Amino acid sequence: MTQGNDHRDVRGDVRAQIREFLTSRRARITPEQAGLPVYAGDRRRVPGLRRSEVASLAGISPEYMTKLERGNATGVSGSVIDGLVYALQLDDAERAHLEDLLRTASSTRPPRRRPTRQRVRPTVQRILDSMTGAPALVLNGRLDVLATNILGAALYSPIYANPVRPPNTARFVFLDPHATEFFRDYNKAANDTVALLRAEAGRDPYDRDLSDLIGQLSTRSEDFRQRWAAHNVRIHTSGAKLLHHPVVGDLDLAFESLPLPADPSQSLLTYTAEPGSPSQDALSLLASWAATTDDLGLPHLAQEADRSSTPPAGD
C-alpha cells in the first residue's frame, strides 16, 4: 500500500471514529442532565439527546451537526469545539481526543513518519535505578513497559512472566488469566487500559504497532471489543491501584504518571504506599524478595525491555 493510500485509509477510519465518538457522547446525556425541558409523551427513538438538541446547546445548526457526525471535520473552529464540549459535557481527556480526531480528519497531507522511541535514555534509566524505595517504570503510549527499576520489575513480575518483550500491560490485562487476580479491581483496570489505548490511537492514528496491538486484542478478547466500542478516553496522571501480588499479597498503592517531554509518548510511572501501612510493609518485603530471588532473573529485568523494540510476530 502506498503512503497516500495509507493516509486516506487512516483518515477514513478517523472520520468513522468521529461519528461514533460524538454519537456515543450524546447518547449518554439525558435531557434532564442537559437542562432541557421534558414533555409528557415525548418518545425518543434514540437514547440521550437528539442531534438537534446538541446543535442548539452547542450554538450550531442541525445541518452542521449532521455534517460533523458524518466525520466532515474541515474548518472546525475553536468556538465550535467549545460549543460541543459544553453541549456534550466533555471532560479534558474527551476534548483532547476530539481535537486529535478532528485534526487528523481535516489533514490533507500524511504526517512525517517518526519512529516511535522504544528505548529509554541512559539518564532516565539512572533515575529509575536511583529510586530504590518505590516501584518505577517507563511506559509508552501503547503501554509497553520499556524499563523499570528492580522494585518495579518485582511488582510487575506477573506481567514479566510472559516471555514476549517488551512486556505490555494491555496484553496482560486482556489475554493473561492471571490479570483478574493481580488487579483487585479488574473492571476498573480493564476500562482504564482501553481508555488509555483509545486516547493514544487518537493522538497517533498512524502508529502501525498500536494498530496491530488493538487488532490483536480485538481478535482474541470479546471483553476488549466490548469496552473498545464504548469510545471512552482518559488521562492517566494519578490515582490508586489495588493489586494482589503472588508473593506479598495485597497492595494499596498511589501512582503518579509523569510525561517525559524529551521522549514523546513515554511516561515515568511511580508507585508509593502510605508510610507505616501494611502496603508499605509489603513493598519492603517485595524489595527483599527481589534482592534475593533469582527465579525470574529480576536484577536483569530492568534492562530487558530496553533491548527489545517489538513483540514477535503472531503473539
Average pLDDT for 173-191: 98
Give buried/exposed letters for 242-261 (b at 16+ CB in 10 A, else e).
ebebeebeebbbebebeebe
Q: What is the distance between the alpha carbons of residues 210 and 299, in angstroms, rounded to a whole number? A: 29
pLDDT, one tens digit per residue, over 42-59 is 777 777 999 999 999 999
**Which pLDDT score is estimated for 40?**
65
Kindly state the percentage of the chain with pLDDT values over 70: 86
Per-residue model confidence (pLDDT) at position 186: 98
Q: Report whether 234 contacts 192 (CB < 8 A).
A: yes
Greater confidence (206 vs 86) lies with 86
Classify residue 119 as exposed, middle or buried by CB count within 10 Å of its CB (0-12, 13-18, 19+).
Answer: middle
- Residue 9 pLDDT > 50, yes or no? yes
State the pLDDT at residue 46: 74
Closest CA to 83 of 41, 53, 118, 117: 53
248: alpha, beta or left? (left if phi > 0; alpha if psi -120 to 50) = alpha
**Cβ distance 141 to 265 under 8 Å?**
yes
Its sign, for the CA torsion 83, 89, 91, 94, is negative
What confidence tier does 310 reach under pLDDT thresholds 50, 70, 90? very low
User: Cis peptide leading into 166, omega within 30 of 0?
Assistant: yes
Task: Indicate the pTM of the whole model.
Answer: 0.88
Predicted pLDDT of residue 167: 94
How many whole angstroms separate alpha carbon 274 and alpha carbon 20?
A: 41
Average pLDDT, integer, range 270-279: 98
CA 218 to the chain's CA centroid: 15
Higher pLDDT, 279 or 310: 279
The tens digit of pLDDT for each residue in 69-91 reads 988 888 899 999 999 999 999 99
How confident is the model at residue 118, as a pLDDT? Answer: 73
Provide the pLDDT confidence category of residue 243 given band limits of 50, 70 and 90.
very high
Q: Please give the pLDDT value at position 294.
A: 64
Alpha helices in 45-185 (DSSP H): 51-58, 62-69, 78-88, 92-106, 122-130, 150-155, 157-160, 169-175, 179-182
Collapsed DSSP state (helix, strand, coil) of residue 303: helix
pLDDT computed for residue 218 by the predictor: 98
In angstroms, rounded to a whole number, what is the distance separating the alpha carbons of residues 184 and 201?
Answer: 27
Provide mean pLDDT across the span 167-181: 97
Q: What is the pLDDT of residue 315?
A: 43
Per-residue pLDDT band at 111 (split at 50, 70, 90) = low
pLDDT of 235 reads: 86
Q: Is 268 helix (H, G, I), strand (E, B) or coil?
A: strand
Residue 236 has pLDDT above 70, yes or no: yes
Residue 258 pLDDT > 80 = yes
Return the higher-pLDDT residue of 3 and 231. 231
State the pLDDT confidence band at 20, using cuts at 50, 70 and 90.
very high
Residue 69, helix vs strand vs coil: helix
pLDDT single digits (tens) 28-47? 999 999 998 877 667 777 77
Separation of alpha carbons 202 and 225, rounded Å: 17
pLDDT tens digits for 115-162? 555 789 999 999 999 999 999 999 999 999 999 999 999 999 999 999
**Are 173 and 190 contacting, i.e. CB atoms less than 8 angstroms apart?**
yes
Say what the pLDDT of residue 4 is: 53
Q: What is the DSSP secondary structure assignment for residue 183, as one 8-state letter?
A: B
Edge-to-edge strand ranges of the sheet holding 249-259: 145-148, 136-139, 267-272, 249-259, 238-245
Enumerate the β-bridge partners of residue 268. Answer: 138, 258
For the chain, what is the mean pLDDT? 88
pLDDT > 90 fraction of the chain, expressed in percent and rounded: 72
